[in-house]
Amino acid sequence: MEAELTIPGLLQARAEAEPDRAAIVVDGRGELTFGAWASRSNAVAHGLLDRGLRPGDRVGLRFGGARWIDYAVAYCGVQKAGGVAVPLAAAQPVRVTDDILDRCDAVGVLQEDTGCAAGPGRWAATIEEVESADDTPPGIEVSPSRLAQIVYTSGTTGDPKGVAASHANLTYGRHPMPRRRAYAHSRHFLHAFPIGTNAAQMMLMDALTAYPAALALPRFDAAEFCRLVEAYRVGTVFLVPSMAIELLGSAARRRQDLSSVVLVGSSAAALPPALAQDLAAAFPGAVLVNTYTSTEAMPAGTTMVLDPERPGSLGRASDPGDLVIRDSGGRVLPPGEVGEVWLRCPAPPRSYFADPGGSAAVFRDGWVRMGDVGHLDDAGYLYLADRAGDVIKSGALKVSTLRVEAALHEHPLVAEAAAVGVPHPVMGEVPSAAVRLRGHVRLEELRDFLTTRLARHELPTRIAVVDDFARNEAGKVLKPAVRALFTGASTRVPLTAAQLADLAGDPSPHESALRVHDPLDLAALRRALADLAARHDALRMTFPGGGVAEIADGLAPDLERVEGGTAALTGALRAAFDARRGPLLRAVVAETPDGGRLLGLAAYPLVCDAWSLDLLVQELGILYGAAYHGRPAGLPPVETTYAGFVTAAHAGSGAPTPVTRPGPVFDTGPAEWVPVVIAAGTVGRLRRAARARGTAPGSLALVAWASALAEEHGSACVLVRSPGRTTPGAAGLVGPLGVDIPGLPEQVVEAADAEAHRFRPVPPHAGRFTFEGLRPEPDLPGLRTEPLPLPAPTPPHGPPRLTLTAQPDGSLSGHCEGRSAARAAESFTHHLGLLLS
C-alpha cells in the first residue's frame, strides 16, 4: 500500500513484523530495536507537533556519531510529523550549522546538546526535551511524493548544495520484508560514516530493510573498526578510500580476526587500483565492491566487483541505457571517447533545494549530470578520467589528477596522495601533488618512480609532504586546501637568473649538518621549516624562466627522511635542485643504524649564501622549539625583504663599470678542492698590517688574492666577486649578496667600498673570494647537538674560489676550489707573504 512507499511506512511495517529485532547497534551505548524505533519516533513526532511543526517544515538534526540511536529516532520522528529532516554533523562549526539552517529556512534544530543556539524564528532543543509521553502513531498522512530530507553536499569543489529527496526516492526498490534480504550472510554490517553525509543516510535506509543490524562506529578508527569486526563477527563492512588507507596502514588488521567479512563496499570517491588490490589482499575471503554514485544521483549508480581484467573500472549500470558519456553539446559519445558522465535515475529524481537554476543544470529529464569526465569500454564499463573541475589543462594537453594519484598510490611508501593543477604563466596550469607517507622516501626517488608511470606532461612539478589532509565530514580530501599548498601571490624580482648566477658562481649548494642527541618531532620540524620560509622571502625564490626570479607565497622547504649515516645524509643533501620549480632549501633527517639522528640543511646558492645559512640554522632551532611547545617564537621581524633589498639595489646600480680584460684566468686544469691554512703568527702580522692601513684583515687578504689572479691573468685589471654585508639592514638578510671588485690590486680596498652591492650584469669573474669572521658552530637552540663534518663536495668547474674563516686559535683555515685550485692557492700564499713583507 502507499504507506509502504514512505520511510515511516517502512519502519512501521518492520516494527510490526519484528519488534524485538535489533536495527541499530552502537557498541558500548546500546541498541535500538524496530519496536523501540517506531514508538520513540512517534513520541518525537508528537513533541514536534506540539511545538507547531507544519507539513514541509525543515528541522535540523545535529548529532555526533555516538548518538546514532537518538539520530535515527529524531530522523523518523520529524518525517512522521510531516516535516523534512536536515542531517547535520555535530563536529562542524556552529557557524556552518547556522548557515545551513538559514539556507533551508529551518524552523528548528534537534540536537544532542545545547551547542547550537536558536536563530531568529528558529528554536533549538535536545531530543529529551521534545520526546513526549505519547508514543502512539501521530496520525499525520505522509505522501510518497513529499520531501523527506535535505542533505548538503560535501563542498569539496565549492559551496555545499542542499540536495532534496522525496520519500519515494529514498524508498525506491526497498521493501520492509523482501524474500531475499540484503547482506543476509551475517547479523551485523559495520560502517563509520558521519551523520550529515549522504553515505550515512544510505546506512540508515539499509538499517530499515536489510537483514543484519547496522553496527555504527562513532568515528573511524582502524583499531576499533577491526576489533568490532572480530567481536560481532561482522559480514559486511562499508568504507571510503581514506578509511581504507588508514585500515591498510594499521597493525590492527593483522592482530584481529577479520575472516568473517565476506563483502567490502567502497564508495564516495574513486578507489585507486593499487589501493583496491591491497584492500582485496587484506580481506582475502571477501568480495570487494566499488560503488559509483553521488548525493544527487541516488539511488542510481554503478557497482563493480573487483576485476583484475578491469582494475581501473568503476563498473556498469544494471541497465546499460542508464549510463552514457556526452560531449559538451549533449551528444552521446561512442565507447572509448572521453566526455561527461551522465546517469539516469529510475526513481523519482532529486533536486537542489530552492535552487531552480542549479537543478536545471544538473537534473535533466531523469538524467543526472555527474560532474565527472570519463569513458565507457565496449562492454559498458565506466572508467573515470577526473572530476570535470579537476582536469588540469596544461598548454594544449589535459592531465587527469586521478591518473597522477593512481601512479603515486603504486609506490609502497605512499599512504595517500592528492593531485591538483596550479597556475603557470606559460602553460596555464601544471600538475602538483601532496602525499602522506608511511615511511622514509626521498622526493627525488618518488619523482624518478613516477617517470616510469606517467607521461612527461603528467609529472607533478612539485610534490609536498603533509602529515594529513584537510577533509570534509565524509573523509574526502578538500582539493582547495591542497591547491593552497602550492599557490599564492608571487613577487617578481628585477633580477635575472643570469645575474644571480654571477652572485652564486656555480650550483654547488651550501650545507650545514648536525648530530642531534634529542628526539626530533618531524611535524614540528616541518612547521618550523614552513615558518622559516614564510619569514625569509629568498627561500621561496624560483627561476621559472622569462628572465626573472619569482618569490612565491606558500612555498615551503622539503623535509626528507633517509636511513643510514653521514653518507646517506650527504647524498640526500647534495641531490640536484630544480631551480625552475623549487623549493631551493631542503632539510634531511637521517636515522642512523644505532638509533641516532642526523639533521642537515642544503641551500641552493641562488637563494642563500654561507652567511645566510648560519642564520637559518639558528632561527630554525628557535622556530622548532616554538612549534614543538605551541608558543610564539619571539624572533624579531625581518626589517628588509630580499626582494625589496635587491629591487632598491638594482634601481640604483646604473651602468656597469667598464672593465677591460681578455677573459677569465685559470681556464685550464682539473677541478680541484684543496685545503688552505694560514698560521696564527701570519694572521697576527696580517691584522697588524690592516690596522696600520686603517682597513680590515679580509681586505688585505683580498689584495693578495687579486694580485695572484692578476699575475696569472697577465693583466693588472681583474674582477673579483666577494660576498658583502656592509649595507645597513643586510646583516640579518637571507639571500645571496655580493660585491664586484674591479681595478688594480692596490686599489682593491677602495674599490670594494665604491662598488658594494651593485646588482648588475657583469663579465665573467676572474675569481671569487670569501673571508668570514669567527663562524659559529652550527647549533639548534633548545636541542642537544654537535656539528657534523661532511665529506668535501665535488669541486666546481668554474673559476677558482677562495674561502677563509677565522678560527678560535687565531689562525685562518678554509679551502680553494675550482679549476686549477691548487695552483691558485699556492699563488695566493706567495702573494700574501709578499704583501706582509
C-alpha cell at 796: 666546481
**Residue-wise pLDDT tens digits, 618-670:** 889 889 988 888 888 878 777 778 877 766 655 544 333 333 333 444 455 67
* Average pLDDT of the residues in 783-800: 79
- Measured distance CA(294)–CA(264) in Å, rounded: 19
Model pLDDT, residue 799:
75
Question: For the chain, which residues make up each domain, given as ranges?
Answer: 1-23+33-180, 390-487, 648-836
Of 322, 296, 32, 348, nearest to 153 (Cα)?
A: 296
- Measured distance CA(812)–CA(826) in Å, rounded: 15
Grouping H, G, I as helix, E, B as strand and the rest as coil, residue 665 is: coil
- Measured distance CA(420)–CA(483) in Å, rounded: 6
- Measured distance CA(638)–CA(535) in Å, rounded: 7
Architecture per CATH, domain 1-23+33-180, reads as 3-Layer(aba) Sandwich (3.40)
* Average pLDDT of the residues in 151-178: 84
Grouping H, G, I as helix, E, B as strand and the rest as coil, residue 728 is: coil
Higher-scoring residue by pLDDT: 509, 32: 32
- Amino acid identity, position 605: P
- Longest Cα separation, the chain: 115
Query: Is 226:217 a contact under the CB 8 Å cutoff?
Result: no
Per the listing, cell 594499521 goes with 250
**Residue-wise pLDDT tens digits, 331-374:** 999 999 999 999 998 899 999 999 999 999 999 999 999 999 99
Specify burial of residue 332 (Cβ count, 10 A radius: 0-12, 13-18, 19+). exposed
Query: Is 2:144 a contact under the CB 8 Å cutoff?
Result: yes
Q: What is the pTM of this model?
A: 0.61
Model pLDDT, residue 430:
84
C-alpha cell at 331: 551528444
Residue 184 CA: distances (Å) to CA of 19, 209, 212, 609, 826: 18, 11, 6, 69, 88
In the predicted structure, residue 728 carries a pLDDT above the cut 80: no
The conformation of residue 813, written as its DSSP 8-state character, comes to E
In the predicted structure, residue 686 carries a pLDDT above the cut 90: no
Confidence of residue 449 (pLDDT cuts 50, 70, 90): confident
- Measured distance CA(566)–CA(9) in Å, rounded: 71
629's enclosing H/E stretch is helix 610-629
Confidence of residue 709 (pLDDT cuts 50, 70, 90): confident
Instruction: Give the residues across from 374 on adjacent strands.
Output: 339, 384
Grouping H, G, I as helix, E, B as strand and the rest as coil, residue 534 is: helix
Helices (H), 152-287: 167-170, 198-209, 222-232, 241-248, 252-255, 273-282
- Measured distance CA(206)–CA(299) in Å, rounded: 12
Of 84, 88, 82, 75, nearest to 38 (Cα)?
A: 75
Model pLDDT, residue 551:
82
CB within 8 A of 781, min separation 6: which ones? 618, 621, 622, 625
Q: Which CATH fold topology does 648-836 show? A: Chloramphenicol Acetyltransferase (3.30.559)
In the predicted structure, residue 496 carries a pLDDT above the cut 60: no
Higher-scoring residue by pLDDT: 697, 725: 697
Tell me which of 73-87, 240-254, 394-408, 777-791 is least confident. Answer: 777-791
**Residue-wise pLDDT tens digits, 543-565:** 776 556 788 777 888 888 888 88
CATH number listed for the domain at residues 390-487: 3.30.300.30
Cα end-to-end span (Å), the chain: 115
Strand 108-111 and strand 84-89: pairing? unpaired
In the predicted structure, residue 33 carries a pLDDT above the cut 60: yes
Instruction: Give the residues across from 399 on adjacent strands.
Output: 392
Grouping H, G, I as helix, E, B as strand and the rest as coil, residue 370 is: strand
* Average pLDDT of the residues in 572-585: 86
Backbone angles phi, psi at 598, to 5 degrees: -115, 140
384's enclosing H/E stretch is strand 382-387
In the predicted structure, residue 94 carries a pLDDT above the cut 90: no
* Average pLDDT of the residues in 585-598: 89
Confidence of residue 604 (pLDDT cuts 50, 70, 90): confident
Model pLDDT, residue 545:
60
Of 403, 341, 328, nearest to 372 (Cα)?
A: 341
**Residue-wise pLDDT tens digits, 373-403:** 999 999 999 999 888 889 998 877 889 999 9
Q: For the chain, percent helix, then strand, then coil, each to nearest 5?
A: 30, 25, 40
